[in-house]
Amino acid sequence: MDFELSGEQLALQETARRFARDEVAPAAAQYDQSAEFPREIIEKAWELGLLNTVIPEDCGGLGLTSLDACLITEEIAWGCGGIATSVMCNDLALTPILVAGSAAQKSEWLTACTERFLLASFCLSEPNAGSDVAGLQLQARKDGDAYVLDGTKCWITNGGVADFYTVFATLDRNARHKGICAFVVSADTPGVEAGKKEDKMGQRASNTCAIHFDGARVPAAQRLGEEGEGFKIAMRTLDRTRPPIGALATGIAQRALDESIAYARERKAFGTPIGGFQAVQFMLADMAKEIEASRLLTQQSAWLVDRGLRASKHSSIAKCFATDAAMRITTEAVQIFGGNGYTKEYPVEKLMRDAKLMQIYEGTNQIQRLVIARELLKE
Ligand code: CAA
């Protein structure tokens, strides 16, 4: 076992760290306030090769690993959780093409993302089917050499700004997971329209909105895999994308610890810096413990993905542990900052708001526990 990163990985981590400190962190508060989409920053990430980590070399990508993606995501999330979500959203949307696309589909959609700056979104959740993917209702109807899509997706990250979507729809609602198909759909397809943008509590730099499909005609050539394979494509995607979510949470938590240490050194109470009090020291120590565990679990699950092994249990453990830990750690950071921590003048209340979303998206932490328990019982 070797915990050391390679020279290439250290260089990649350093590029992401510089980008996070120089470009992301200074702009984070402004985007949090305005809730505007940080297009220029995301484009800069693309120029630096930090976007689209899943694209293999034979499609023009850098051929990065899941572990590489975790290193990048943790650094960017240190700068801003919302911007990190916008960056990693492309990987989430491109992974169904990677796991189920034909050579022609990969070359059309993945290669395009390396040639020009394109944004993609993953359209799975619906108003009445968030956790219960097999219960989704977006209707797909076969019509000649195309499918016609009708229905609504919601809580779609980068929804209003994406150039294309990976969309999950059902041919037969009664067939549950066996009726689901996956498609790649261009955002300018007639009948596809972005809906209301959500006014979120945290991660306000990421764009979240509904997408409406009203008789949208999608060529059959844009179906990924066979009819009825969509559910498994979605599950295989989430197995791969949950490790970077663990890394995103670790980045937010690390920022909370760094801010807390700096504050504990400076802030005085009873005539001494508060870092001198055991009450604060123990909080910092517990935060550090949980961050180390989050990072190791995340990197272990990414390692499994990189070896092509089924990672469902470990990906869910990493996502669940790291995001619950980030919630606790950012809440503790607000406590260490006291009254100052509760105001927008200091950075920690944003970290706490940003962390909360992590326990909800990419499968709630209740769903992660369900996946873990099912895998345990299967074993
Ligand atoms: N890989 C491959 N196949 C899998 C699989 C996996 N990880 N998990 C399940 N399957 C297979 C099963 O083996 C089964 O196959 P058979 O039909 O051949 O027997 C089939 O899929 C159905 O599986 P289940 O019976 O386990 O399905 P279920 O209906 O009980 O649901 C669930 C499982 C885990 C609850 C699933 O619905 C789920 O993951 N829900 C959470 C959804 C989620 O994470 N949404 C996030 C949206 S994206 C997002 O939030 C991102 C963002 O904005 C940033």
Task: Give me ligand 1 centre to Cα 363, in Å.
Answer: 10
Q: Is 123 in the pocket of ligand 1 (CB under 6 A)?
A: no
Axis crossing angle, helix 25-34 with helix 348-358, rounded to the nearest 10: 70
**pLDDT at residue number 263:** 98
- Spatial neighbors of 343 by CB under 8 A, at least 6 apart, are 349
- Regarding the beta carbon of 233 and ligand 1, being less than 6 Å apart is answered no
pLDDT tens readout for residues 326-379: 999 999 999 999 999 999 999 999 999 999 999 999 999 999 999 999 999 998
Structure-token pair, residue 83: 């911007």
Question: What is the pLDDT at residue 1?
Answer: 83
Q: Which pLDDT score, from 0 to 100, does residue 379 have?
A: 80
CA dihedral 297, 300, 302, 308 (to 10 degrees): -140
Q: CA-CA distance, 208 to 37, in Å (whole number)?
A: 10
Tell me the average pLDDT of the chain. 97
Residues 3/85/76/363 CA torsion (nearest 10 deg): -30
Instruction: List, for residues 95-138, the tens digit of each pLDDT value.
Output: 999 999 999 999 999 999 999 999 999 999 999 999 999 999 99
CA torsion angle for 64, 241, 6, 86 (degrees, to 10)?
A: 70
CA nearest to 140, candidates 191, 178, 181: 181
Distance between Cα 115 and ligand 1 center (Å): 32
**Ligand 1 center to 160 CA (angstroms):** 26
* 38 contacts 207 by C-beta, under 8 angstroms: no
Predicted confidence at residue 239, as pLDDT, reads: 97
Going by pLDDT thresholds of 50, 70 and 90, the confidence category of residue 93 is very high
Start-end of H helices in the chain: 7-19, 25-34, 39-47, 66-79, 81-100, 103-105, 111-115, 230-266, 278-306, 312-341, 348-358, 365-378
Return the residue whose CA atom lies nearest to atom 21 of ligand 1: 232
- The catalytic residue positions are 362
CA-based nearest residue to 119, from 157, 143, 91, 90:
90
Residue 308 pLDDT: 95
213 lines ligand 1 (CB under 6 A): no
Among 90, 133, 371, the mutation site with the greatest number of ligand 1 atoms within 8 A of its Cβ is 133
Confidence of residue 240 (pLDDT cuts 50, 70, 90): very high
CA separation for the pair 270, 272 (Å, rounded): 6
- Asked whether residue 162 carries a pLDDT value surpassing 90, the answer given is yes
- CA 286 and chain centroid, separation: 25
pLDDT in tens, 275-332: 999 999 999 999 999 999 999 999 999 999 999 998 999 999 999 999 999 999 999 9
Q: How far is the CA of 93 from the centre of ligand 1 (A)?
A: 16
